[in-house]
């Protein structure tokens, strides 16, 4: 029953997409719009192929992803370290909670000039901004997860003889994994959006250039088809991360454990 | 059933508010005639900040367009890059746009229906360095950083031209470039977070006075004094369909440039006031022999060919000067 | 005279949430010998859960609690606890891993030993075939049996049980009571079992204590009815009435 409904939805979504694509193509070729700024589906397709075959789009994407992953890992680790300190006392918790609430309000892009003053010019600035994008929502979900944890699991852990760090890795982490995954998911989404915005503003860093930069170059060239091609790549990456990373992780953990 | 009706009502309400708030439908539905008439009477000119756009600032302050286009209201917009000006022209909002040479060439080659309507000025560009070990482009190492306003900016093209000439590869320095506005780049150069900067006046003149910085020769060889750096573009629409307004703006620009060349002191006062700078210093910049304001184009086909041959554009370059500039424009 | 497993003296517990908050437990004395199955009855709020939590080391307290002569200062695997909540098993571990986990925590690394000891306890609760299941795939009664197996795997001095069968249906509950009693005999367990169900306490307990609302022991009776106990057993009615009347006096409504 459920599967049949899913299939039906999938079919409807596919038909809708095809209609949009056909409509787009017709619209673009109709002469009612400026074909430069409203490129046809075929020219977007060409731009996409050209991007990968002639312009090393894959390299741009991989570079962006490498920055993102480094930032994500650092951000998540820091969030864990800080959040673990919060387990020490209510005072630390309340201070860190305040810091999180304040810092969460600052858009990463607004920090670029300051970050450049601190870290100079280079990848470290971009990573700093990615870390900023990740660490606060991640801290929120860690703290939220830890304070919302079923106390019984913690008490059982203590009865078994767990203390300190072993209690955190043995009980807190697995018990709050669902919340943690949604925190990482939120952090990733923010970091990814922020990263692209920063690449477009901050430009090349001397050692490489990412997908945001690719869009910027296409903008310089007034190549709207190229910009749409880059957007499609960004969407595809989002879909891949959601379905091949997060949903797989969830299926192998919290779904398998019946925790959702 | 009732729920569905409510939804339909809400959607209709939302669409209606969007239409009203964006001002989209109002003109086309109720007053298409009056909107058309209003467009008839306006000309929109986009400019950017800085000394390179002095002719446009003077035009604006002295209301020269109004003088040559009677009954036409002039709308000025200030944008922060040639790309942004091009986007405004693509959307049909902007009739004339001041920009660097390379965005103008790129726009024409990518099929945007605009051409160069006049040159505005020729500004010197130079690479400045704070590193005593760097005397030529060959001394630039892998981890040296060069500040330039942007990839694809005219400064980037100039750097590539010089790199090609000195190092044999137009892209040799691309990995060294960091994108920074001229003032940010100057700060970075002075505090040492970059080693080099390619810049233009007035920053260049300020940096040349600083004893800790020296010039790395090479740009003047590939882009000699007098070659155009900043141009005014216009849409084909305004050129073909509204020749009166087109010609009025061209005349206004000529008068503005003549004014700067003939009365640098007065021009400096106007320009300095607009940018909150000292008028006497501004005057020295205007009078610097390397600062040339002229409507005559010089070198734009050379630049277009270079950009085409070295992969700076996704589309082939315009083939002839007349593809790149309207027929009133003199030069090459 | 059996060895004294648990010695509680002048135990007082007050959460002190306000200056005039009443004692949950006041000056409670209790001694449990090794191998005794002690049932603690009482109305809600009488402090019976607080008492086992103090013994488990999950609460601080005034007075003395000693297990095998050692003062209780915190939780430990010598006092395993089985909660009422079905979800007490770690959902991220299989049944087998859940049972093995206390051993792993306490430094048992040998795979062979981990497996054989866990399987032995699972067999005891008739769940050896479910070793690789995750807790959410089991029924409530099965989960409680795994929790008992896990509670026994460290051979604790005392097994603390806080109304473990209260949320089960009557049939499952009867079955688990019989199993628990059997295991108790096999292993000579010392059990402290909290319940509000008089029938359950008579079926399971060697000794039954009833607490009143002030956190004091009101009745302390030996249950001499021979096991297995059924409502037809001799003395069952009298015992039941004794506690039923006492429960009425404690001010409880049920």
Distances, alpha carbon B146 to alpha carbons A49, A114, B53, B185, B257, in Å: 32, 20, 24, 9, 33
B17 assigned to some structural domain: no
Q: Give buried/exposed letters for B115-143 (b at 16+ CB in 10 A, else e).
A: bbbbbbbbbbbbbbbbbeebeebeebeee
Alpha-carbon gap: A78 to the closest alpha carbon of chain C (Å): 25
- pLDDT digit string, tens, across residues C104-150: 999 999 999 999 999 999 998 999 899 999 999 999 999 999 999 99
Are A166 and C105 in contact (CB < 8 Å)?
yes
Give the residue from B203, B222, B241 where a domain finishes.
Answer: B222
The better pLDDT of the pair B326, C14 is held by B326
Per-residue confidence (pLDDT) for residue A16, from 0 to 100: 95
Q: What integer is the mean pLDDT of A202-206?
A: 57
Share of chain B above pLDDT 70, in %: 94
Q: What integer is the mean pLDDT of C159-174?
A: 91
Is the confidence at residue B153, as pLDDT, over 50? yes
Q: Is A249 on the interface with C (CB under 8 A)?
A: no
Residues C251 and C176 in one domain: yes
Per-residue confidence (pLDDT) for residue B1, from 0 to 100: 58
Per-residue confidence (pLDDT) for residue A205, from 0 to 100: 53
Q: Is C136 on the interface with A (CB under 8 A)?
A: yes
Beta strands in B123-226 (DSSP E): 126-129, 146-148, 177-179, 196-199, 214-216
Share of chain A above pLDDT 70, in %: 96
Interface test with A, best of C77, C105, C106, C160 (most A CBs within 10 A): C105
- pLDDT digit string, tens, across residues A126-138: 899 899 999 999 9
Using CA coordinates, name the residue in chain B closest to A208. B175
DSSP string, B218-272: -HHHHS-TT---EEEEEEHHHHHH-HHHHHHHHHHHHHHHHHHHH-HHHHHHHHH
Is the confidence at residue A1, as pLDDT, over 80? no
Per-residue confidence (pLDDT) for residue B175, from 0 to 100: 84
CA B300 from chain center: how many Å? 14
In terms of residue numbers, what domain contains C211?
Answer: 1-78+157-254
Averaged confidence pLDDT in chain A:
88
Give the residue from B199, B222, B245 where a domain finishes.
Answer: B222
Are A219 and B143 in contact (CB < 8 Å)?
no
In terms of residue numbers, what domain contains B213?
Answer: 126-222
C218 assigned to some structural domain: yes
Using CA coordinates, name the residue in chain A closest to C79. A159
Residues C164 and C251 in one domain: yes
Model confidence band, residue C251 (pLDDT cutoffs 50, 70, 90):
low
Residues C231 and C150 in one domain: no
Model confidence band, residue A217 (pLDDT cutoffs 50, 70, 90):
confident
Q: What integer is the mean pLDDT of A2-9?
A: 81
Per-residue confidence (pLDDT) for residue B30, from 0 to 100: 40
User: What's the structural domain count of chain B?
Assistant: 2
Is the confidence at residue B248, as pLDDT, over 70? yes
Rounded to two decimals, the pTM is: 0.77
Per-residue confidence (pLDDT) for residue C63, from 0 to 100: 92
Model confidence band, residue C213 (pLDDT cutoffs 50, 70, 90):
confident
Averaged confidence pLDDT in chain C:
90
3-class DSSP state of B71: coil
Give the residue from B46, B200, B54, B60 showing the smallest Cα distance to B123: B200
Residue A37 CA to residue A33 CA, distance in Å, equals 8
Model confidence band, residue B246 (pLDDT cutoffs 50, 70, 90):
very high
Per-residue confidence (pLDDT) for residue A207, from 0 to 100: 55
Per-residue confidence (pLDDT) for residue B26, from 0 to 100: 44
Is the confidence at residue A222, as pLDDT, over 90? no
Residues B80 and B155 in one domain: no
Alpha-carbon gap: C106 to the closest alpha carbon of chain A (Å): 7
Averaged confidence pLDDT in chain B:
89
Q: Give buried/exposed letters for C222-241 (b at 16+ CB in 10 A, else e).
A: ebebebebeeeeeebeebee
B14 assigned to some structural domain: no
Class of residue C89 by CB neighbours under 10 A (exposed 0-12, middle 13-18, buried 19+): buried
Are C58 and A160 in contact (CB < 8 Å)?
no
C137 assigned to some structural domain: yes
B171 assigned to some structural domain: yes
Give the residue from B121, B83, B134 showing the smallest Cα distance to B228: B121
Cβ proximity of B235 and B26 under 8 Å: no
Residues B207 and B58 in one domain: no
- pLDDT digit string, tens, across residues B172-215: 998 888 888 888 889 889 988 899 999 999 899 999 999 999 99
Cβ proximity of B98 and B47 under 8 Å: yes
Residues C140 and C187 in one domain: no
Are B86 and A222 in contact (CB < 8 Å)?
yes
Give the residue from B222, B243, B266 where a domain finishes.
Answer: B222
Alpha-carbon gap: B161 to the closest alpha carbon of chain A (Å): 18
Element housing B16 (H / E):
helix B2-22
Evaluate whether chains B and C are touching (3 or more beta carbon pairs less than 8 Å apart). no
Model confidence band, residue B317 (pLDDT cutoffs 50, 70, 90):
confident
Per-residue confidence (pLDDT) for residue B32, from 0 to 100: 43
Q: Is A220 on the interface with B (CB under 8 A)?
A: yes
Residue B88 CA to residue B92 CA, distance in Å, equals 6
C132 assigned to some structural domain: yes
Is the confidence at residue B40, as pLDDT, over 70? no
Domain CATH number, residue B275: 3.40.190.10
Q: Is A61 on the interface with B (CB under 8 A)?
A: no
Share of chain A above pLDDT 90, in %: 50
> In this structure, how many other beta carbons lie within 10 angstroms of the beta carbon of residue B172?
18
- Summarize chain A as % helix, strand, coil (round to 5): 80, 0, 20
Sign of CA dihedral A42, A45, A51, A52: negative
Q: Is B19 on the interface with A (CB under 8 A)?
A: no
Contacts of C76 in chain A (CB under 8 A): 159, 161
Is the confidence at residue A87, as pLDDT, over 60? yes
Residue A161 CA to residue C106 CA, distance in Å, equals 7
C83 assigned to some structural domain: no
Are B314 and A202 in contact (CB < 8 Å)?
no
Cβ proximity of B118 and B251 under 8 Å: no
Residues B132 and B205 in one domain: yes
B: neighbours with 3+ CB pairs under 8 Å?
A: A
- pLDDT digit string, tens, across residues B111-141: 899 999 999 999 999 999 999 999 999 999 9
Give the residue from C155, C188, C207 where a domain finishes.
Answer: C155
Residues C162 and C197 in one domain: yes
Give the residue from C104, C121, C155 where a domain finishes.
Answer: C155
Element housing C25 (H / E):
strand C25-33
User: What's the structural domain count of chain C?
Assistant: 2
Give the residue from B196, B137, B202, B124 showing the smallest Cα distance to B171: B137
Residues B98 and B144 in one domain: no
Is the confidence at residue B37, as pLDDT, over 60? no
Residues C122 and C212 in one domain: no
C8 has which bridge partners? C30, C65
C22 assigned to some structural domain: yes
Sign of CA dihedral B286, B288, B294, B300: negative
Give the residue from C155, C180, C205 where a domain finishes.
Answer: C155
Domain CATH number, residue C50: 3.40.50.300
Residue A110 CA to residue C201 CA, distance in Å, equals 67
B330 assigned to some structural domain: no
Residues B106 and B245 in one domain: yes
Are A160 and C102 in contact (CB < 8 Å)?
yes
């Amino acid at each position: 029953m459920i599967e049949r409904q899913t299939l039906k939805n999938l079919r409807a979504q596919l038909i809708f997409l095809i209609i949009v694509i056909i409509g787009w193509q017709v619209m673009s070729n109709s002469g009612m719009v400026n074909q430069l700024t409203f490129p046809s589906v075929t020219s977007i397709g060409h731009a996409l192929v050209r991007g990968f075959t002639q312009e090393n789009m894959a390299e741009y994407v991989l570079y962006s992803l490498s920055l993102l992953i480094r930032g994500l890992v650092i951000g998540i680790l820091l969030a864990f370290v800080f959040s673990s300190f919060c387990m020490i006392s209510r005072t630390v918790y309340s201070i860190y909670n305040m810091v999180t609430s304040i810092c969460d309000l600052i858009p990463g892009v607004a920090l670029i000039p300051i970050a450049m003053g601190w870290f100079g010019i280079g990848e470290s600035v971009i990573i700093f901004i990615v870390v900023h994008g990740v660490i606060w929502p991640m801290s929120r979900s860690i703290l939220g997860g830890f304070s919302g944890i079923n106390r019984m699991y913690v008490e059982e852990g203590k009865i078994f003889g767990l203390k300190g760090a072993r209690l955190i890795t043995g009980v807190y982490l697995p018990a709050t994994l669902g919340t943690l995954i949604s925190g990482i998911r939120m952090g990733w989404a923010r970091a990814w959006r922020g990263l692209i915005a920063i690449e477009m503003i901050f430009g090349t860093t001397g050692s490489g250039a990412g997908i945001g930069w690719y869009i910027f170059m296409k903008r310089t060239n007034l190549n709207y088809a190229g910009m749409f091609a880059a957007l499609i790549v960004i969407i595809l990456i989002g879909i891949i991360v959601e379905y091949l990373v997060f949903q797989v992780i969830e299926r192998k953990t919290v779904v398998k454990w019946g925790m959702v | 059933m009732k729920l569905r009706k409510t939804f339909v009502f809400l959607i209709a309400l939302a669409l209606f508010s969007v239409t009203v708030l964006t001002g989209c439908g109002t003109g086309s539905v109720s007053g298409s005639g009056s909107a058309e008439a209003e467009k008839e009477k306006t000309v929109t000119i986009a400019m950017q900040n800085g000394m390179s756009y002095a002719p446009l600032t003077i035009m604006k302050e002295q209301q020269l367009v109004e003088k040559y286009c009677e009954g036409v209201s002039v709308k000025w917009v200030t944008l922060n890059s040639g790309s942004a000006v091009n986007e405004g022209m693509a959307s049909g909002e902007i009739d004339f746009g001041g920009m660097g040479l390379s965005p103008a060439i790129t726009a024409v080659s990518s099929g945007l229906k605009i051409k160069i309507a006049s040159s505005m000025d020729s500004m010197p560009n130079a690479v400045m360095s704070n590193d005593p070990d760097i005397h030529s482009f060959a001394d630039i190492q892998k981890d040296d950083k060069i500040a330039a306003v942007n990839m694809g900016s005219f400064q980037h093209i100039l750097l590539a031209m010089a790199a090609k000439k000195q190092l044999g590869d137009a892209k040799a320095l691309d990995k060294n470039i960091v994108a920074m506005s001229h003032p940010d780049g100057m700060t970075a150069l002075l505090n040492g977070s970059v080693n080099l900067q390619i810049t233009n006046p007035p920053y260049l003149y300020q940096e040349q006075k600083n004893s800790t910085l020296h010039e790395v020769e090479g740009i003047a060889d590939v882009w000699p004094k007098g070659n155009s750096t900043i141009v005014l573009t216009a849409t084909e629409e305004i050129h073909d369909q509204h020749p009166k307004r087109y010609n009025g703006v061209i005349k206004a620009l000529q008068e503005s440039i003549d004014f700067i060349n003939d009365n640098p002191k007065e021009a400096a006062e106007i320009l300095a006031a607009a940018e909150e700078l000292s008028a006497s210093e501004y005057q020295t910049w205007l009078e610097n022999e390397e600062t040339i304001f002229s409507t005559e184009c010089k070198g734009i086909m050379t630049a277009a060919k270079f950009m085409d041959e070295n992969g700076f554009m996704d589309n082939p370059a315009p083939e002839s000067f007349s593809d790149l500039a309207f027929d009133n424009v003199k030069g090459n | 005279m059996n060895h004294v497993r648990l010695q509680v003296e002048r135990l007082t517990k007050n959460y002190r949430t306000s200056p005039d908050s009443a004692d949950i437990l006041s000056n409670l004395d209790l001694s449990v010998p090794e191998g005794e199955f002690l049932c603690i009855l009482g109305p809600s709020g009488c402090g019976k859960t607080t008492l086992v939590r103090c013994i488990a080391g999950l609460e601080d307290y005034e007075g003395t609690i000693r297990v095998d002569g050692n003062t209780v200062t915190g939780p430990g695997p010598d006092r395993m606890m089985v909660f009422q909540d079905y979800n007490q098993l770690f959902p991220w571990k299989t049944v087998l891993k859940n049972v093995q986990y206390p051993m792993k925590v306490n430094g048992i690394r040998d795979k062979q030993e981990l497996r054989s000891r866990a399987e032995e306890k699972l067999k005891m609760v008739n769940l050896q075939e479910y070793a690789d299941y995750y807790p959410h795939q089991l029924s409530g009664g099965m989960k409680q049996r795994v929790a008992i197996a896990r509670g026994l795997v460290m051979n604790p001095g005392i097994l603390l049980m806080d109304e473990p069968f209260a949320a089960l249906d009557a049939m499952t509950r009867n079955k688990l009571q019989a199993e628990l009693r059997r295991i108790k005999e096999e292993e000579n367990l010392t059990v402290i079992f909290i319940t509000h169900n008089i029938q359950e306490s008579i079926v399971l307990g060697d000794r039954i204590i009833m607490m009143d609302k002030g956190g004091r022991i009101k009745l302390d009776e030996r249950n001499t009815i021979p096991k297995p106990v059924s409502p037809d057993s001799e003395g069952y009615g009298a015992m039941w009435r004794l506690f039923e009347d006492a429960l009425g006096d404690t001010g409880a409504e049920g």
